[in-house]
Structure 1
Amino acid sequence: MTLHIQALGPAIGALVTGIDLTQPVSDAQRDALLAGLLQHHVLFFENQPVTPVQQRDLARRFGELHIHPVYPTHPDAVEIIVLDTDDNNPPDNDNWHTDVTFIDKPPMGALLSARHLPPSGGDTLWASGIAAYEALSEPLRKLLDPLHAEHSFVQSFPAWRYARTPEERKVWESAAAKYPDIPHPVVRTHPVSGKRGLFVNEGFTSRIVELDKKESDAILAFLRVHIAKPEFTVRWRWKQYDLAFWDNRLTQHYATVDYLPHRRVMHRATVLGDVPY
């Protein structure tokens, strides 16, 4: 097979064919995928029935893996998050977010596999923080460039949802203590491409440090609306065993919740990154 990467839009997204991810990925294939990720920000693969162990091993080809502090994980591979949602366990990711920005070295990327899908719905959208930043006026870019924003674990994982039992409370309190609010640049530089992009998101960003509350709330509200403009996004309609691999450093994503009461199960492996600057 010959690996081929076809763009799905000018700002973000590409479909990858000519590769079997259930088999070990060669160095040449890994390098080609990283180059495609750098250009397109999110790569989609169809009909890739990887097991949790295969997905973990694939993700390890791109770096050290993160183990989530509160999400359930797969018994065969603790590095694989199991996102199993239905009417009794509604999802919490129907907002624009960048994964795990509440740590000092947020993930460089993530690999998401569709395991069980509803009859319809449950699409995921990704947005390019680079395209959104470059579309801003020069005065606004200059305002944002030196600013920092705090990212909060408890904002995205509140106690009322994740500490409902004594056992959950113990895990949640440990995570909340381990991950206090942490500042990151509002505009981040991609460590490989050198491009600049927005690095604030609805899921985790609580405030802009250098601004007062009203100013911070107004700027963050504007940026949340701005990055969701269709021209900065790509939408993927999942089929079973589809897999997405995205650059988490300067993208956001949104999982639509239009499938309840039906069930949706996704497996995610998360590759750790570096300190944003």
Structure 2
Amino acid sequence: MSDLNIRPLIEGRDFGVRLSGITFEQTSDPEIRTQVNALFERHGMIMFEDVEASARMHVALSDIFGPMKDHPSKAVPRVDQDTMPGVIDMTCKPYPEGRIEIEGKEVTQWLPWHFDHAYNNELNRAGVLRALDIPPEGGLTGFVDGIELYETLSPKLRKQIEGRNILYRMNVIMKDFHFGAPDSYKCLAENPHTHAVMEAARDVPRAVHPAVWTRESGEKVLHVSPWMAEGIEGDETPEGNALLEEVSREVFARAKALSYWHAWKPTDMLIWDNWRVLHAVSGHDPQYSRRMQRTTIKGDYGLGYFEGGASSDNKILERTY
């Protein structure tokens, strides 16, 4: 890949790489596709710099990593599905109804650390994100590596959480944030559109995923999503809840040192490994708009299931950020 510029995402760290110079034509080159997939598998995240700022490039880059998974809700806005299938459009206009206070600042679009589709039995392989409307400040997307989280966790907490499974349910009500909420967190106003999402999920069983899992390459991954977690399977007790709270707070605390926060440019596109990486959104001043587009890469790591042996057909509408 001599004609592509590859650099560390964070100097001195193995998590993530920056890749510059890939063109639309090169996305169909078999050798480049193989090499880019190897980078993704090893590093867990690729930040594509200085790429063609278009939906066709978004789709072409996504196709390198596997077939795309369309969003199951037809209510979610799309780019033209005849020419750009699988690209969803997420727009936040100025002064939306949903507001959060974090560290004394009022923001919109703030999201805590999480992995996508925790509330489903299957976990998509990855997400590919780009920004079209970027606020002048804030609006960052954060990423933290579950391998690094596991390695920095205390031996005592590792021993307590390994072998445990976490229960998750779709819950987009921001006042109902069970585990790991920062002390400075306060929900000022709910987004009224969340109620329809909650109603659609009302009768769906909870999903179960391991708190720690081991990759084929041997690394252990701490993979706990504080957002939408409901408890530890078989231990929904004060003691079990206290353990999950401690782990969730450790995720937030350690992410301060380990995370990468991406400040967007229109010529950036970014893919992360949903089986390994947690992500979050910093939020931004409500006076500004923010518009993101995203594709979802199909796949599953095969370790999740629905509580009580419910059928895999019993899935809920996903919400993508």
Report the TM-score when normalising by structure 1.
0.85
1:140 and 2:157 matched: yes
Q: How does 1:180-259 map to 2 (within 5 A)?
A: 180-190=205-215, 192-228=216-252, 229=254, 230-259=256-285
Secondary structure of the corresponding residue to residue 28 of structure 2: coil
1:18 to 12, 18, 21: 21
Q: How does 1:19-38 map to 2 (within 5 A)?
A: 19-21=22-24, 24-38=27-41
2:137 to 120, 137, 140: 120
The aligned counterpart of 2:92 is 85
Q: Output one character per residue of 1:230-274: Cα deviation in whole Å (capped at 9) or x when no partner.
A: 332112111123111111111111111123210111111111221
| Structure ID, larger Rg | 2
Identity across matched positions, percent: 25
In 2, the alpha carbon distance for the partners of 1:89 and 1:46 equals 33
Given that residues 126 and 251 in structure 1 are in contact (C-alpha distance below 8 angstroms), is that contact kept between their aligned partners in structure 2?
A: yes
C-alpha spacing 1:189/1:136, structure 2 compared with 1 (3 Å):
same
In 2, the alpha carbon distance for the partners of 1:256 and 1:202 equals 16
* Number of corresponding residues: 270
Q: Output one character per residue of 1:83-107: Cα deviation in whole Å (capped at 9) or x when no partner.
A: 2113226555521111122222201
Secondary structure of the corresponding residue to residue 154 of structure 1: coil
Secondary structure of the corresponding residue to residue 19 of structure 2: strand
Secondary structure of the corresponding residue to residue 112 of structure 2: coil
Report the TM-score when normalising by structure 2.
0.74
Secondary structure of the corresponding residue to residue 140 of structure 1: helix
User: Which structure carries more relative contact order (alpha carbon 8 Å, separation 6+)?
Assistant: 1
Whose helix fraction is larger, Structure 1's or Structure 2's? 1
Given that residues 52 and 74 in structure 1 are in contact (C-alpha distance below 8 angstroms), is that contact kept between their aligned partners in structure 2?
A: no
The aligned counterpart of 1:59 is 62
Q: Output one character per residue of 1:149-191: Cα deviation in whole Å (capped at 9) or x when no partner.
A: 1121235699974355xxxx4x7644555x531111111223x
In 1, the alpha carbon distance for the partners of 2:191 and 2:206 equals 19
Cα RMSD after superposing both structures: 2.7
In 1, the alpha carbon distance for the partners of 2:236 and 2:199 equals 29
The aligned counterpart of 2:80 is 76
Q: CA deviation at 1:129?
A: 0.9
In 2, the alpha carbon distance for the partners of 1:22 and 1:176 equals 45
In 2, the alpha carbon distance for the partners of 1:81 and 1:29 equals 26
Secondary structure of the corresponding residue to residue 243 of structure 2: helix
